[in-house]
Structures are given as C-alpha cells and as structure tokens.
Structure 1
Amino acid sequence: MSERSPWHPTPRRLADAFLAALAPVAACVLALGGLTAWTGAGRAGSPARITVSNARVLLPYGDSTETAAFFDITNAGGANDRLVRVTSSRADGEVTLSRHRGTGSGAAAKTDVDSAVVLAGRVLTMAPHGLDVNLRAGARWRAGDLVPFTLHFERGGAVEVLAVVIRPSATAG
C-alpha cells in the first residue's frame, strides 16, 4: 500500500483556481452594479403610470361628421405600455387609431394602426401629422363642447378623459 502525498498548492494551481473564480465573480459584480443603478433611478418594479392631458377633438367641417381627436399621453412609470383602443359614448360608430405620413409629393397618407407604444418615462403627443384618433361625431358639436373618451391601455387599464372641441385652425401640428 502506497501512501499518497498531501496536496500542495503550486503557483500554477493557484493561478488556475483564481482564473476559474474570476469570471463568475466579475459577472456577479457587473449584474449587481446594473441592478443598483436601475433601483437607484427609481425604475425597479415600477409599472407603467399613465396620465392623459391636452385632450382635444376637432370640430367637424361643414356637413361632415368625420373628425379627429388628439391626446398627450404621459407614462411616468418604469415600464412601457401600449394604447390598444379608444372609445367614446359620443361617437357614431367605430373609433380608430391612425397614423398620417407625408408621401413626399406634399400629400399625406393615412394608415390605421392597431396600437401605439407609450415608452416608460416619455410622453406620446398625438398630432394631425402623426398619430391621431379618427371618429364620427354622434351629434352636432360646437367649439368648447366636452366629449368623453376612454383610452384603453394594455397594462394600465382604462383612462377616462374629457376632450374639448376646438376649431381645426386652433390645433398645432
């Protein structure tokens, strides 16, 4: 029976052990630093916090009942949300989201969209030459009237707001 010699650390063995431990320790330090910065910025576990302001709807022109509404949507939370639907008890028929883009020849093209992302910590501003809400007025409106809308968000639920009816020349955008 032969006797085994006790294990002795050699410089080579110590270097190998150090290198093997370095990668996981570095990854943990990096992850901890990132999580600390995220938490310190107030974003950790913060859901979307949606508020709607500057709600306005254009006064339909002439005998037409077609019009558009615009909102400023603020997400003060730490997670993105998505506007998925808009409804109004004063609209006649379907209310849709659409985006207007220039065609390059001075004209604009309208495309219906299913939803609109509201980024965390940002404001989504609707405008006539961008994202808007299309609807048909359900009754004769006058400038200054208030029209109720409900904006439905994927995570934030429903937000009710009153939009003021304005003349088309009063909108920026």
Structure 2
Amino acid sequence: MTERQSPWRPTRRRLTDTLLAALAPVAVSVLALGGLSIWTVLGNAGGPARITVTGGRLFLPTGDTPETAAFFRITNTGGSADRLLKVTAAGTDGATRLSRHRMTGARSASARTVTSVPVAAGDSIAMSPDSLDVIVPANPDWEIGDLVTFTLHFERGGAVRSVAVVDRPGQGGT
C-alpha cells in the first residue's frame, strides 16, 4: 500500500508566514533608501570639497636670509576631503614648498618638506611657525604691509587664490 502525499496547498497560515518573511527586508530597504534620500537632499552625501583660504601672512625676510615663511587658514566646508598639493607665489624667483615643523627638544625644532596636506571635510587648518607653513624664496623688495598673491593648489578643489600681508614675526598673532 502506497501512501499518497497531498499536494501543497496555500493555506492562510502559510501565506501569512511568507508575507511576514518578505516584509522585514522590504521595510528595512525602504527605510534605508528614505534615509539616504533625505541625507542627499540636505547636501550631506558626497558633496564636493569647498575650500576657502584666509588670513594670509608672510614674514618679512631679515638680513641675508634666502627664504621666509607664509601662513594661511584653510577651511573645507564641503562634504568631501581634499588635499593641498602645492603653493605658488607671485613675484618669487624660485619654488615654494610645504614644510612641517616639529619641536625636538627644549629650544630646538626640525623641519621637513611635505608633499601634500590633507584637509578633512568640515575641518580647517591654521598654519603657524610651530606646525605647517609655506617656505617662500625671499624677495628683498618686500616691505611691511605689502600684499603678495599666492595660489594654493588642491587635488579636488583646484587652484584657490589668496593674498598674504607682509609683516614681522611676532606681529598679527603668529
């Protein structure tokens, strides 16, 4: 005697279980998509870097010093990180370079050239004699109060022009 199996039939219970099993991932997907849509509409998802450069200062060269330093405040109000690649200066007879200073002991410091500087989204960098600066070939014609045009070149943001006022070290907050 062979036992016959009854064919599968959709019962109310089986349909309810199947619908509930499918509903959970669909609901989570709809919530995630809605949240990402709102995030994007508010401008927070993958917005480009928005770089501003302010507060430029250039130390007046003293004596026979072949180089001096310039400082800027770089602010990224965008939604993506960027990277400062190089800085150029009008009226200089040579290449500028980015430099990072570190204190190595009491009254001594070391400086090293850096190839680039990251600027995180929503962050700012304040260059100073104690940290990051731009080493600039000295121009003997500069006088206190002169304005020197610089162009800061960013990986994503492109070239940003700014001016730096020539002043003495220890003046103007640095």
TM-score (ref. length: structure 2): 0.83
Q: Does 1:48 align with 2:49?
A: yes
CA RMSD for the aligned pairs?
2.6
Q: Distance in 1 between matches of 2:44 and 2:167?
A: 37
Q: Distance in 1 between matches of 2:134 and 2:15?
A: 69
Q: Distance in 1 between matches of 2:89 and 2:76?
A: 22
Counterpart in the other structure of 2:156? 155
Cα distance, 1:103–1:16 mapped onto 2, change above 3 Å: farther
Cα distance, 1:107–1:17 mapped onto 2, change above 3 Å: farther
Cα distance, 1:124–1:9 mapped onto 2, change above 3 Å: farther
What is the identity percentage for the equivalent residue pairs of Structure 1 and Structure 2? 44
Kindly tell me the number of residue pairs found equivalent between the two proteins.
171
Deviation digits for residues 67-115 of structure 1, max 9, x if unmatched? 1100111222222211111011222322111111222444222121111
User: Which protein has the larger Cα radius of gyration, Structure 1 or Structure 2?
Assistant: 2
TM-score (ref. length: structure 1): 0.83
Counterpart in the other structure of 2:134? 133
**Which aligned pairs between 1:1-173 and structure 2 lie closer than 5 A?**
5=7, 7-9=9-11, 11=13, 14-15=16-17, 17-40=19-42, 42-44=43-45, 46-173=47-174
The gaps in structure 2 that reach 5 residues or longer are none
The gaps in structure 1 that reach 5 residues or longer are none
Q: Is contact 2:86–2:152 with CA below 8 Å preserved after alignment?
A: yes
